[in-house]
Amino acid sequence: MIKKFLRSRGLRKLLSNRLAIAALGVIGLYTGIGFAVFLGAITEKDTEARVWTDSYPGYPHHQTAEKRLDNCEVILSRVMRVLETEGELSEVAFAERSVSDASIEELTQKVQAGLALYEEIADTVGSLNDNPEVLPRIEQLEGFVDDVYTPLTGWSSLVYDFRLFFGTDRQGRSILIRGIYSIKVAIQVGVVVALIAVLFGSVLGAAAAFFGGWVDHLVIWLYSTFSSIPHLVLLTLLAFMFLGHPLETTLIPLYVAFCLTFWIGPCRVIRGEALKIKELEYVQAATAVGFGRFTILWKHILPNTSHLMFINFSLLFIGAIKSEVILTFLGLGIKDGASWGIMISQSQAEVLNGFFWQIGVATALMVGLVLAFNILTDALQDAFDPKHV
Amino acid sequence: MWAYIFRRLIYNVPVFLGILLFVFAALRVNDPVWMYLGKGATQEQYETKKKEFGLDRSYPVQYFELLGDVVTLNFDQKSWGQEGLTVGELLGSSIKPSLAITVPALFLTSIISICVGLISSFFRGGKVDKTLVILAVLGMSISFLVYIILGQYFGAYKILKETGASPFAISGYEPGIGNWAHYCLLPVMISVIVAMGYDTRFYRAVMVEETTRDYIVTAQAKGASRRKILFVHMLKNAMIPIITRIMITLPFLIAGSILLEMYFTIPGMGRTLITAINDKDFPVIQVFTAMFAALFILSNILTDVLYALVDPRVRLS
């Protein structure tokens, strides 16, 4: 079957389509990244790690004099509090930077000097943001912060810069890291859902067409029933089934909801195709030779609908990724970790304040993958099912 | 014709029974009373609540009661989440806001995308066509939620912040035609923009398919102008796929309006349903999902009837 597929006209047509090759390349790249994350390149812990203090979304891309000043004050007074209460200095380590090993007296002196400088700058009359004279003094203040914390060097400073590349969200977490981790979540959801739904739908559809009679009636009744509940209503209903269940925080409710909703498309299409194939001569020949009914179904009918399975896989993959975003926004989708849905839902408040980094990164990454799949679906349809409208 | 309509109605009866059964079962997988009361409730409270809503009776009895309520449109069950309101009152007050978004959105989307599809197929292969196709595919790849978030920011929030005028409300809803544009126009526009990507592509494919038909060659041979072929001959013959498409988009519109209603806090059916899910408001969820399904089946039957009206061949099969 694989040999036949490799020599088929459809595949040659697909490979001669340059756009389709580019789309395949993009999908390969995403899958590679997703797989690297899956193997542990980025863990869920990394997505929760803070690379900057909270409530400063967009750091370091949206820096005003006032914000830089506030930031220094937050960091320095946090160290001061620990010094005064003689607590553990490791507690105020942030963004992988630990407090320098200098003696307590020296640290206290630096922090106090820094805070004094802060008071001085803060007392400046008028708006800080439009005052060029303030800038060198703020840099001086930031120098104090750098003195208190050991600077990052070499590899770890590169990693730190990488994490700050697209800035931070409202909780001070790296947007880039969260975006990349979400690739894995999206691909995982897409592959699991599309694979199960396509296989389930195809087997059911082909069986309905081949056996006819009550099997056919049952399958038709089943898919008209499921397709008569609006998509999102069905998804919310299924997600509701798992509320409060121990499995609620895993991805399993999402898989179940998507699979039960998405199997209808492939089932309908493949039932139609199998009805046509059933009447063809080679199936009659196979029956005449004496093959069992299940053998004919499994070996002669299903493989000949494989092009439709590919097309449907690609369609459902897109559907799963896009529905994840919507369900997550409604509070019924992914709950923990990071995903494009979580990122886009969380960016609501940031957008109202004019920060577009989080929604931008999540959307750009998502568009890349979905667009590639859209182009691939079109190319697959052109190559293998040219009569389709 | 009437025999045909009757056949379609009969055919959909088992489907509707199946939906009700599914909704009925899905809502009872997790005990709805425990979900509502939470883990801290006593056994006694649980029993009282269960008895109050008749959930202690056997499943067949409950199923047929639900069926009876839906068929006779008897919705006087009390809502668990919103004190003092019945399901019927909630349904009645939420249908209008939903329709205020869905109907104009459906209407505008269909008209605009049929026109764009025609234009695209008219200039098939040219620059205009290519640009439109690329735009449509790109538009389809962006999440609905992103359109809503950015639409609200640029359409309502930013204008209010910079000019002080507020042509579109950031969120909320007031009944009345005078208020429609203020509260509903922005969600409708977002909905139209999102649906355009899908519809334009589809209508273009339909029109392109029609151009290969024999009657087009005949029309060309008798000397009809290209414009006339496109808008008179083709459009008429493309009516069947167009009607199907409009009817198929109905459930997507309902789904889409759930998101819009959530985001713009418009008290429509979708928002009421999601609020009910968050409140574990069992009677409301049960009736609302059943009604969504009933509306959907009705639109399916309507599609079949429209088919039969447009294409007499359908009636005979």
Contacts with A320 (C-beta within 8 Å, 6 or more apart), sequence order: A189, A190, A193, A194, A258, A262
pLDDT (average), residues B228-249: 79
Contacts with B197 (C-beta within 8 Å, 6 or more apart), sequence order: B135, B136, B137, B138, B139, B140
Residue B55 confidence (pLDDT): 80
Confidence of residue A388 (pLDDT cuts 50, 70, 90): low
Confidence of residue A364 (pLDDT cuts 50, 70, 90): very high
**C-alpha dihedral (A232, A233, A237, A240), degrees to nearest 10:** 60
To the nearest whole Å, the CA of B207 is away from the closest chain A CA by 10
Residue A182 confidence (pLDDT): 93
C-alpha span between B52 and B37 (Å, rounded): 14
Q: With 0-12 CB in 10 A as exposed, 13-18 as middle and 19+ as buried, what is A127?
A: exposed
Helix, strand, or coil (residue B80) = coil
- Closest to A230 (Cβ–Cβ): which among B251, B259, B278? B251
Residues written for chain A? 389
- Closest to B15 (Cβ–Cβ): which among A224, A325, A378? A224
Domain edges within chain B:
1-74+281-317, 95-273
How many Cβ atoms are within 10 Å of B102's Cβ, its own excluded?
Answer: 21
Residues B98-140 have pLDDT tens digits of 888 888 888 898 899 988 888 888 788 888 888 888 898 888 8
Q: Does the structure show a pLDDT above 90 at B23?
A: no
Question: Across the interface, do B16 and A322 touch by the CB < 8 Å criterion?
Answer: no
Tokens of A244: 């409060």
Q: ipTM score of the complex?
A: 0.83
Q: What are phi and psi of A109, to 5 degrees?
A: -60, -45
Helix, strand, or coil (residue A3) = helix
- Closest to A237 (Cβ–Cβ): which among B141, B205, B289? B289
C-alpha span between B205 and B45 (Å, rounded): 60
Tell me if the bond preceding B187 is cis, omega within 30° of 0.
Answer: no
Question: Which of the listed ranges A362-366, A376-380, B107-111 does the model predict with the highest average pLDDT?
Answer: A362-366
Any idea which fold B95-273 has?
MetI-like fold (1.10.3720)
Q: A interface toward B at CB cutoff 8 Å?
A: 221-222, 224-226, 228-233, 236-238, 240-245, 322, 325-326, 329-332, 340-341, 344-345, 347-348, 351-352, 359, 363, 366-367, 370-371, 374-375, 378, 389
> pLDDT: is B153 or B56 the higher one?
B153
Domain edges within chain A:
2-41+176-384, 60-163
Residue A65 confidence (pLDDT): 75
Mutate to test the interface with A, among B141, B170, B237, B288 (most CBs of A within 10 A): B141
To the nearest whole Å, the CA of B2 is away from the closest chain A CA by 23
To the nearest whole Å, the CA of B44 is away from the closest chain A CA by 21
Residues A157-184 have pLDDT tens digits of 788 878 888 888 888 888 899 999 999 9
Q: Does the structure show a pLDDT above 90 at A205?
A: yes
Confidence of residue B316 (pLDDT cuts 50, 70, 90): low
Contacts with B28 (C-beta within 8 Å, 6 or more apart), sequence order: B59
* Closest CA relative to residue B168, chosen from B153, B177, B176: B153
Confidence of residue A214 (pLDDT cuts 50, 70, 90): very high
Residue A201 confidence (pLDDT): 94
* Chain B residues with beta carbon closer than 8 angstroms to that of A236: 258, 273-274, 277
Partner A, chain B 44-63, Cβ-Cβ below 8 Å = none
Residue A32 confidence (pLDDT): 94
Question: Across the interface, do A225 and B209 touch by the CB < 8 Å criterion?
Answer: no
pLDDT (average), residues B250-269: 78
Candidate from A129-138, A204-213, B76-85 with smallest mean pLDDT: A129-138
pLDDT (average), residues B137-144: 89
Residue A127 confidence (pLDDT): 67
> pLDDT: is A104 or B317 the higher one?
A104
* Chain B residues with beta carbon closer than 8 angstroms to that of A221: 14-15, 18
CA B308 to chain centre: 23
* Closest CA relative to residue A366, chosen from B193, B141, B284: B141
* Chain A residues with beta carbon closer than 8 angstroms to that of B255: 230-233
Confidence of residue A125 (pLDDT cuts 50, 70, 90): low
Candidate from A18-27, A175-184, B107-116, B289-298 with smallest mean pLDDT: B289-298
To the nearest whole Å, the CA of B257 is away from the closest chain A CA by 10
Q: Does the structure show a pLDDT above 70 at B8?
A: yes
Residue A319 confidence (pLDDT): 92
Q: Does the structure show a pLDDT above 80 at A245?
A: no
Question: Tokens 């979900």, residue?
Answer: B35
pLDDT (average), residues A123-150: 74
To the nearest whole Å, the CA of B12 is away from the closest chain A CA by 9
Alpha helices in chain B (DSSP H): 2-26, 32-37, 43-52, 59-71, 87-122, 127-140, 144-152, 158-163, 180-211, 214-221, 226-228, 235-237, 239-263, 269-279, 282-310, 313-316
pTM score, two decimals?
0.85
Q: Is B24 on the interface with A (CB under 8 A)?
A: no
Tokens of A226: 């499921």
Question: Across the interface, do B15 and A389 touch by the CB < 8 Å criterion?
Answer: no
Confidence of residue B146 (pLDDT cuts 50, 70, 90): very high
The mean pLDDT value of chain B amounts to: 83
C-alpha span between B157 and A353 (Å, rounded): 10
Contacts with B106 (C-beta within 8 Å, 6 or more apart), sequence order: B246, B249, B250, B253
Residues A64-95 have pLDDT tens digits of 777 777 778 777 777 777 777 776 666 666 66
Q: Does the structure show a pLDDT above 60 at B255?
A: no
Start-to-end CA span in chain A (Å): 27
Question: Across the interface, do A221 and B14 touch by the CB < 8 Å criterion?
Answer: yes
Query: Buried b vs exposed e over A218-241: b needs ≥16 C-beta within 10 Å?
Result: ebeebbbbbbbbbbbbbbbbbbbb
* Chain A residues with beta carbon closer than 8 angstroms to that of B35: 243-244
Q: pLDDT exceeding 90 applies to what percent of chain A?
A: 26
* Chain B residues with beta carbon closer than 8 angstroms to that of A367: 138, 141-142
Confidence of residue B45 (pLDDT cuts 50, 70, 90): confident
Residues A246-286 have pLDDT tens digits of 777 788 888 988 998 899 989 989 998 898 888 888 888 98
Helix, strand, or coil (residue A173) = strand
Name residue A168's beta-bridge partners: A174
CATH of domain A2-41+176-384: 1.10.3720.10
**Nearest Cα residue in chain B from A327:** B259
Tokens of A341: 């849905």
Question: Across the interface, do B277 and A351 touch by the CB < 8 Å criterion?
Answer: no
Partner A, chain B 274-313, Cβ-Cβ below 8 Å = 274, 277-278, 280, 285, 289, 292-293, 296-297, 300
Q: Is B139 on the interface with A (CB under 8 A)?
A: no
Residue pair A146/A71 in contact by the 8 Å Cβ criterion: no
Q: Does the structure show a pLDDT above 90 at A30?
A: yes
Confidence of residue A96 (pLDDT cuts 50, 70, 90): low
Residue B78 confidence (pLDDT): 80
Residue A190 confidence (pLDDT): 94
Question: Across the interface, do A370 and B293 touch by the CB < 8 Å criterion?
Answer: no
Question: Across the interface, do A232 and B255 touch by the CB < 8 Å criterion?
Answer: yes
Residue B162 confidence (pLDDT): 84
CA A118 to chain centre: 41
Residue A35 confidence (pLDDT): 93
C-alpha span between A230 and B225 (Å, rounded): 43
Mutate to test the interface with A, among B23, B39, B146, B297 (most CBs of A within 10 A): B146
Q: Does the structure show a pLDDT above 60 at A40?
A: yes
